[in-house]
């Protein structure tokens, strides 16, 4: 496990990505097509993501629940655009307990339909509303081309599903979910992005409106990092989910759904990694600090142990590397590849002076600190790393956002730099499909709704500003 | 939702069980055979279980990971007794992305095989050992007769899988897992039970030895609450999982696996519930205290709000019930059915005297406490409820453990009382199969290994004491 096995990230981002996932022991390939094994190092990241987001939604009153993995095919068929969107990606169970099933069961690609059947049962009166549920689970979408984390047949995610008495309340929920995602991405992933509305072509199958948080990765490709949908009354009508309002009249409920998956970890890897491997933001790093002794003398080992204990007691996620079959330099490489935010080096000098040498993973800067205030120094350094990474991500996003006033300019930008192309545009699915075919880029989101300009494609007046990009 | 809808628990435990699950809003039926929807109230209990057990295993050095849901059929076939055990219960995916799959995929019934394939890849040297992994996930076993929580086609669980250099180390892990389960059951579920070894007939398909924690439910039926397996080198040989030891020799690894599922919640419901509904132990109760105002005057409401805030600040999981469309008596019933450990009643008297009336769910005792020390009083009461429930469970276990010296006595006990029947026995699968057919009881576990007595069935000398019982 040395960084020499890594290709240059800028020259060959795809190969770099595949290799770093293996070298850092994040994941491995599963035996069946497009599946992935999340090794402890990536699963621990997922646990930190879960914890952060779970707290945010519980604060809003959302409760966790669990619905069955298997959905009768007939359920999916009730919402026409929904089944059309998901049909090509379904995994189907046809046999159970040694017998052919009467009705084929779909392994959930998403759970709107099965959850709506319950909502119909549970919702009678306005007093039963809102119901705001979330589940942490696996989901399966049969993908043609797969890539660890970013596009796998099975993935882990949370899917929120809520029913409300009014459209206004549903929209508040949809916004709250998206704002929470944005907060999670900025404050934990340290990945800055754009918030906006999806185009008609890119809206979720069954939704009236999809909001998204779009990040830009250093490769110049965008990543849809999560989505939050206003489902309107589409599923309510398909599943006859009605409630009696305060006047005794029957009304259809208003609904939302929103999701964030392990694909987000793909963005994390791509977003911050460098030629030496992963770079993890401290708030999601399973190990925030690793102490690597320069020698293994008894005095050094004792010193390291004391230091480790001190840091752990202070709540800093700390490891020490006392292996006796690896050299110091090899160890440094190993922990750099794994993206640990701070490496603490301890040798004779440090022991003699009661100090520690701390190296930042993100910018290689070294600081020598007194043992007496090592916790506060480390805490400050971790905060600095976290905010540097976010600032860096903002820079990448801004540097990769370029304006185009016509289609030729857009094509030129995509050919020269990729990145986001910012244009005035009147959302039009036919035109978008054509652009997608010609440039591999699609609209990512609408970032301004009340502007005044000229549609880059048709030349007509346009009031909305959109971002286009190629994407993962 | 009133307790009048509940049948008497002793007279009709099966109907009581089904009804209380619906009335307390723990779960609902899923659309496909034998599946279940875990509503927020039961999922929150599962979250407390997860948190408690997750901490215990992480303390031992176990790490969480995630392996794919779909296992190639050929993997299962590699370990002969394993596939034989699970074949009748498999759900099979035959189509993906609109096409028939080349190899059918099994939806995991348990993950020994797929995880072992990774162990083979990851383990090279003794330095790579041990690897101790756990995953929280869903699993599917196609059951003929199903019952919410206790026997569902899909269930949630944790499955631990570990590889070690020595048999001794594997056995320590197996014991640690079982001891943790016992701790979890006693300290959180408040369900006392017996620890012991499973018979040859009841040992996990693919294991050398299975340890179990067996609880006795008031209905007289036993519940296998979790299992911990010494897999020996069975999967190691089937998957060729070898390591180079310190002398450079190749050796097969030693393995364990261990699991606890949402079936445990079935035991919790059955174990403590009474004719008025659920009774939840405070440490697993989503709501530990509910404040129910006797009237909805402004002064009472203010008083309730202040009290609720005070309790929440003290870290006690508290709700208040301010609904204006339900009467006080109805509300009391409702929260009793839901098994909330303490109900706090607040009316004019309490407001005037700065007091609160606290009613224990488990024994209906009421205490009047001063608002000034309400948190400490509540905390003490919660502890009292928790320990009373455990003591009660121990009593049920002991009262339902009866000795038999021959088969006739066993049959008589099972006919009269059900419960555990304690016998000297030489583990014999053929005899056990016969007993099972004739009495519906099987051995639950061996609780003493070095005793001296007479085999209850054959009359031969026997050194082991076993428990037999009917079970869920």
Domain containing A450 — which CATH number?
Answer: 3.30.110.30
Main-chain phi, psi angles of A454, to 5 degrees = -120, 130
Q: Say which CATH number the domain at A319 has.
A: 3.40.50.800
> How does DSSP classify residue B470?
-
Please give the tally of structural domains in chain A.
Answer: 3
Single out the residue of A306, A305, A365, A360 nearest to residue A336, CA to CA.
Answer: A360
CA distance B156 to chain A (A): 9
Residues A332 and A413 in one domain: no
By DSSP bridging, strand A442-448 and strand A453-454 are unpaired
Strands B420-424 and B401-403: parallel
Q: Which chain A residues are within 8 Å of B143, Cβ to Cβ?
A: 97
For residue A281, being part of any structural domain is answered with: no
| B93:A107 CB<8 A | yes
Minimal CA separation from A405 to chain B, in Å: 40
- The CA distance from B425 to the nearest CA of chain A, in Å, is 34
Chain A residues within 8 A of B107 when measuring between CB atoms: 69, 93, 107
Query: Are A72 and B325 within 8 A, CB to CB?
Result: no
State how far the Cα of B333 lies from the Cα of B359, in Å rounded to an integer.
Answer: 13
Note whether B311 and B201 are same-domain residues.
Answer: no
Same domain? For B7 and B135 the reply is yes
Determine contact, residues B75/B107, Cβ cutoff 8 Å: no
Rounded Cα distance, A350 and A373, in Å: 14
Q: Is the pLDDT of residue A221 over 90?
A: yes
- Is residue A150 domain-shared with residue A40, that is, in the same domain? yes
Residues on chain A touching B30 (C-beta within 8 angstroms): 67-68, 70, 114
The partner residue sitting opposite A32, judged by closest CB among B70, B143, B153, is B70
Segment among A55-64, A94-103, A293-302, B22-31 with least mean pLDDT:
A94-103
**Which of B30, B40, B64 faces A133 most closely, judged by CB atoms?**
B40
Last residue of a domain, one of B381, B411, B430: B381
CATH number of the domain where residue A86 is located: 3.30.930.10
Query: Nearest C-alpha of chain B: how many angstroms from A65?
Result: 5
- The answer to whether residues A254 and A309 belong to one domain is no
Task: Count the Cβ atoms, other than its own, within 10 Å of residue A353.
Answer: 11
Distances (CA, A) of B391 to A418, B192, B365, B421: 68, 8, 17, 21
B389 lies in some domain: no
Nearest to A366 by CA among A375, A374, A357: A357
pLDDT of residue B3: 53
Q: Is the same domain home to A197 and A342?
A: no
Residue B233 gets which letter from DSSP?
T
Among the candidates B320, B353, B381, a domain finishes at B381
| Whether residue B230 is found in the same domain as residue B310 | no
Residue B321 lies in a domain: yes
Tell me whether residue B278 is in a domain.
Answer: no
pLDDT of residue A4: 66
Closest of B4, B45, B35, B32 to residue B265, by C-alpha: B45
Option in A28, A68, A142 nearest B30 (CB): A68
Can you give the residue range of the structural domain that contains A315?
A: 287-383
| Cβ <8 Å between A35 and B72 | no
Phi, psi of B204 (to 5 degrees): -55, 140
- A172 found inside a domain: yes
- Chain-chain contact of B64 with A44 (C-beta, under 8 angstroms): yes
Which residues are CB-contacts of A105 (< 8 A; sequence separation ≥ 6)? A70, A71, A72, A73, A92, A93, A96, B32, B91
Q: How high is the pLDDT of residue B2?
A: 53
For residue B68, the chain A residues in CB contact (below 8 A) are 30-32, 35-37, 154
SS3 for chain A is CCHHHCCCCCCCHHHHHHHHHHHCCCEEECCCCCCEEECHHHHHHHHHHHHHHHHHHHHCCCEECECCCEEEHHHHCCCHHHHHHHHHHCEEEEEECCEEEEEEEEECCCCHHHHHHHHHHHCCEHHHCCEEEEEEEEEECCCCCCECCCECCEEEEEEEEEEECCHHHHHHHHHHHHHHHHHHHHHHHCCCEEEEECCCCCCCCCCCEEEEEEEECCCCCEEEEEEEEEEECHHHHHCCCEEECCCCCEEECEEEEEEEECHHHHHHHHHHCECCECCCCHHHCCCCEEEEECCCCHHHHHHHHHHHHHHHHCCCCEEECCCCCCCHHHHHHHHHHCCCCEEEEECHHHHHHCEEEEEECCCCCEEEEEHHHHHHHHHHHHHHHHHHHHHHHHHHHHHCEEECCCHHHHHHHHHHCCCEEEEECCCCHHHHHHHHHHHCCEEEEEEECCCCEECCCCCCEECCEEEEECEC
Pick the residue from chain B with its C-alpha nearest to A34. B68
Q: Quote the pLDDT of residue B223.
A: 94
ipTM: 0.96
Same domain, A295 and A266: no
User: What is the distance in angstroms between the Cα of B66 and the nearest Cα belonging to chain A?
Assistant: 5
Q: State how far the Cα of A364 lies from the Cα of A374, in Å rounded to an integer.
A: 18
Q: Is residue B392 part of a domain?
A: no
Mean pLDDT of A407-434: 97
Determine the residue of chain B that is closest to A142 in CA distance: B97
B102 lies in the same domain as B232:
yes
pLDDT of residue A110: 95
CA distance to partner chain B, nearest, from residue A402 (Å): 37
Q: Are residues B212 and B162 in the same domain?
A: yes
CA angle A312, B51, B338 (to 5 degrees): 150
Q: Say what percent of chain A tops pLDDT 70.
A: 99
Domain presence at residue A282: no
- Note whether B270 and B189 are within 8 A (CB): no
pTM: 0.96
Among A356, A383, A410, the domain-final residue is A383
What is the reported pLDDT for B123?
A: 97
Chains A, B: CB pairs < 8 Å: 171
Q: Do B93 and A71 touch (CB under 8 A)?
A: no
Residue B337 forms part of a structural domain = yes
In sequence order, the 6+-apart residues with CB closer than 8 A to the CB of A354 are A370, A371, A372
DSSP output for B305-322:
HHHHHHHHHTT--EEE--
- How much is the average pLDDT of A379-388? 98
Answer whether B94 sits within 8 Å of A94, measured CB to CB.
yes
Query: How does pLDDT run along chain B (472 residues), one tens digit per residue?
Result: 455 689 999 999 999 999 999 999 999 999 988 999 999 999 999 999 999 999 999 999 999 999 999 999 999 888 888 888 888 899 999 999 889 999 999 999 999 999 999 999 999 999 999 999 999 999 999 988 899 999 999 999 999 999 999 999 999 999 999 999 999 999 999 999 999 999 999 999 899 999 999 999 999 999 988 999 999 999 999 999 999 999 999 999 999 999 999 999 999 999 999 999 999 999 999 999 999 999 999 999 999 999 999 999 999 999 999 999 999 999 999 999 999 999 999 999 999 999 999 999 999 999 999 999 999 999 999 999 999 999 999 999 999 999 999 999 999 999 999 999 999 999 999 999 999 999 999 999 999 999 999 999 999 999 999 999 999 8
Beta carbons of B26 and B39 less than 8 angstroms apart: yes
Q: Do B140 and A36 touch (CB under 8 A)?
A: no
- How far is the C-alpha of B137 from the C-alpha of B157, rounded, in Å? 6
Indicate yes or no: CB of A70 within 8 angstroms of CB of B32: yes
Q: In chain A, whose CA is at the least distance from the CA of B22?
A: A122
pLDDT at A3 over 60: no
Q: What is the model's pLDDT at position A208?
A: 96
Q: To the nearest whole angstrom, how far is the Cα of A178 from the nearest Cα of chain B?
A: 23
- Considering only CB atoms, A94 lies closest to which of B64, B95, B97, namely B95
Average model confidence (pLDDT) for chain A?
Answer: 96
Task: Tell me whether residues A43 and B66 touch, CB distance under 8 A.
Answer: yes
Q: Are residues B354 and B405 in the same domain?
A: no
pLDDT number for residue A85? 84
Q: What is the pLDDT of residue A95?
A: 92
Q: What is the pLDDT of residue B86?
A: 87
Does A354 share its domain with A319? Answer: yes
Q: What is the distance in angstroms between the Cα of A379 and the nearest Cα belonging to chain B? A: 24
Q: Do B75 and A31 touch (CB under 8 A)?
A: yes
DSSP state of B72: E
């Amino acid at each position: 496990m040395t960084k020499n096995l890594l290709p240059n990230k800028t020259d060959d981002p795809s190969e770099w990505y595949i290799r770093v996932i293996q070298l850092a022991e994040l994941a491995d390939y599963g035996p069946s097509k497009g599946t992935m094994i999340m090794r402890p190092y990536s699963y621990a990241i997922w646990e930190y993501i879960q914890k952060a987001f779970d707290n945010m939604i519980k604060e809003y009153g959302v409760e966790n629940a669990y619905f069955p993995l298997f959905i009768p095919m007939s359920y999916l068929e009730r919402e026409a655009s929904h089944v059309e969107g998901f049909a090509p990606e379904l995994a189907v169970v046809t046999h159970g307990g040694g017998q052919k099933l009467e009705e084929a069961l779909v392994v959930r690609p998403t759970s709107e339909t099965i959850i709506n059947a319950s909502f119909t049962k549970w919702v009678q009166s306005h007093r039963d509303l809102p119901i705001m549920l979330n589940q942490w689970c696996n989901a399966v979408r049969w993908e043609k081309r797969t890539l660890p984390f970013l596009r796998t047949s099975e993935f882990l995610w949370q899917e929120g599903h809520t029913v409300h008495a009014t459209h206004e309340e549903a929209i508040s929920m949809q916004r709250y979910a998206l704002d929470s995602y944005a907060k999670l991405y900025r404050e934990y992933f340290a990945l800055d992005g754009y918030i906006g509305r999806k185009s008609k072509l890119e809206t979720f199958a069954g939704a009236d409106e999809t909001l998204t948080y779009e990040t830009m990765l250093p490769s110049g490709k965008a990543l849809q990092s999560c989505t939050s949908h206003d489902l309107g009354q589409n599923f309510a009508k398909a599943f006859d989910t009605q409630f009696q309002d305060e006047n005794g009249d029957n009304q259809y409920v208003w609904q939302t759904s929103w999701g964030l998956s392990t694909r987000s970890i793909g963005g994390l890897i791509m977003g911050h990694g460098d030629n030496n491997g992963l770079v993890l933001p401290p708030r999601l790093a399973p190990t925030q600090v690793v102490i690597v002794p320069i020698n293994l003398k008894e005095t050094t080992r004792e010193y390291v142990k004391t230091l480790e204990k001190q840091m752990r007691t202070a709540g800093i996620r700390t490891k020490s590397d006392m292996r006796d079959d690896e050299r110091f330099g090899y160890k440094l490489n190993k922990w750099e590849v794994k993206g640990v935010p701070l490496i603490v080096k301890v040798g004779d000098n440090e022991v003699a002076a009661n100090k520690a040498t701390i190296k930042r993973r993100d910018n290689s800067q070294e600081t020598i600190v007194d043992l007496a205030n090592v916790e506060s120094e480390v805490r400050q350094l971790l905060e600095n790393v976290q905010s540097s990474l976010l600032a860096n991500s903002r820079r990448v996003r801004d540097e990769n956002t370029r304006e185009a006033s016509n289609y030729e300019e857009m094509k030129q930008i995509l050919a020269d730099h990729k990145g986001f192309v910012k244009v005035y545009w009147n959302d039009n699915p036919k035109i978008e499909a054509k652009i997608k075919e010609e440039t591999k880029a699609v609209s990512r989101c609408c970032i301004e709704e009340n502007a005044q300009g000229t549609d880059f494609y048709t030349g007509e007046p346009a009031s909305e500003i959109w971002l286009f990009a190629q994407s993962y």
